[in-house]
Amino acid sequence: MRHFPVFVNLDGRRVIVSGAGETAVAKLRLLLKTEARIAVFGENAVLQVRQWAAEGSIVLTERPIAVGDALCAALLYAANDDPAEDARAARIGREAGALVNIVDNLDDSQFITPAIVDRDPVTVAIGTEGAAPVLARKIKADLEERLPASLGVLTRIGQAFRARAEMLGDSRKRRAFWTKFYFGAGDRALKAGGEAAVRQTLETLLTDEIERRDGPGSVVFVGAGPGDPELLTLKARNALHEADVVLHDRLVPQPILELARREAIIVETGKKGFGPAWTQDAINALMIEHAGAGARVVRLKSGDPAVFGRLEEELDALDEAGITFEIVPGITSASAAVASIGRSLTRRGRNASLRIITGHDAEGFADHDWRALARPGEAAAIYMGLKASAFLRGRLLMHGADAETPVTVVENASRADQRIVAATLGDLPETLADASITGPAVLLYGIAPRGAQVAVDALPARAEAV
Looking only at the bridges linking them, the beta strands covering 99-102 and 73-78 are parallel
CB atoms under 10 Å from CB of 266, counted, come to: 16
Q: How far apart are CA 116 and CA 360, in angstroms?
A: 53
Pick from 288, 283, 243, 282: which is nearest to 266 by CA?
243
CB atoms under 10 Å from CB of 448, counted, come to: 17
If you ran DSSP here, which 8-state letter would residue 267 be given?
E
User: Is 173 tagged catalytic?
Assistant: no
Give long-range contacts, CB 8 A cutoff, 24+ apart: 454-462. 454/340, 454/341, 454/420, 456/419, 456/420, 456/421, 457/419, 459/421, 459/431, 459/434, 459/435, 460/434, 462/427, 462/430, 462/431, 462/434
3-state secondary structure 110-122: CCCCCEEEEECCE
Task: For residue 51, give the H/E element and its range.
Answer: helix 47-55
CB atoms under 10 Å from CB of 13, counted, come to: 15
Q: How far apart are CA 413 and CA 392, in angstroms?
A: 21
User: Is 271 tagged catalytic?
Assistant: yes
Task: For residue 39, give the H/E element and its range.
Answer: strand 37-41
Which of 86, 249, 304, 434 is labelled catalytic? 249
Determine contact, residues 421/411, Cβ cutoff 8 Å: yes
Q: In one letter, which amino acid is 333?
A: S
Which of 235, 271, 387, 402 is labelled catalytic? 271
Question: Could you list the active site residues?
Answer: 249, 271
